[in-house]
Each structure stands twice: as C-alpha cells, then as structure tokens.
Amino acid sequence: MINEEIRRAIEKAIGGEQVMLFMKGVPQQPACGFSARVCAILGALGVEFGAVDILPDPRIRQELSALSGWPTIPQLFVRGELVGGCDIVTEMFESGELAAMLGVEQPAGVGAPRQAQEPTPLQIDGS
C-alpha cells in the first residue's frame, strides 16, 4: 500500500464513523496507557466507536499526523473533526464537555464539583 492509499483509508475511516479512535492496539487490548485511558472514557460514556490500530504500519501514524496536524497517539475524531489526544479527551470528559459533544449523559460522579469538607476536630485522649 502506498502512502496515498493509506491517507485515503484514514480519511475513509474518519468519515465512516461518528466516533473514530486511532490508537496503539485495539479497544479490547490497548498497547499503551494513553490509548487504554481514552477507550475507558468512551466506554464509561457508553459510546460506540470505530478504532484503527496504528502499530502494524508506521506509515499509518505518519499519514495520520500529517493529515490531522496532531503528533501524538491516540487521536479521537468526532463527526470527522479531531477532538485531540488523551489529555484533551480526559479534560473534556471530566468537565462534561465530551458527553455533551457526543450527545450522551455524563456518568454520575464524574466532573461533579468537589465539596469542601469540614475539618474533623482533633481528639486527644487524656488517658
């Protein structure tokens, strides 16, 4: 497969799925922690997504990064647009922005503001 064919296959994958993840490994067996984290986030949101393993051919990563302008893997696309990598996806998940973008409900307890707790008074036992 020549680079132009790889680029066309990448473009077709991005356009063919509502949510597309380019990752190291596959969703059932991610090959890096960052890819595993994004898969876990999408799973927590209950989102179906397509995935492409970039590891079998280094030209996939090269063409993907040239096309997206994003150097790192994983790369998440929603409706044909690059969302970003693991850090951005994580931040968007925690803020609820990713759930809103995907049109799904934010899981309970995720992104909720933490409430300050009253300090527990120090108890000194005089015995």
Evaluate whether residue 113 is within a structural domain. no
pTM (predicted TM-score): 0.83
Evaluate whether residue 124 is within a structural domain. no
> What is the domain-level CATH number for residue 33?
3.40.30.10
What's the number of domains the chain is made of?
A: 1
Per residue in 33-65, pLDDT (tens digit) is: 999 999 999 999 999 999 999 999 999 999 999
Find the domain containing 10 and state its range.
3-102
Per residue in 86-115, pLDDT (tens digit) is: 999 999 999 999 999 999 999 887 754 443
What's the Cα-to-Cα distance from 26 to each of 35, 39, 64, 107, 114, rounded to whole Å?
9, 9, 17, 24, 34
State the pLDDT at residue 1: 62
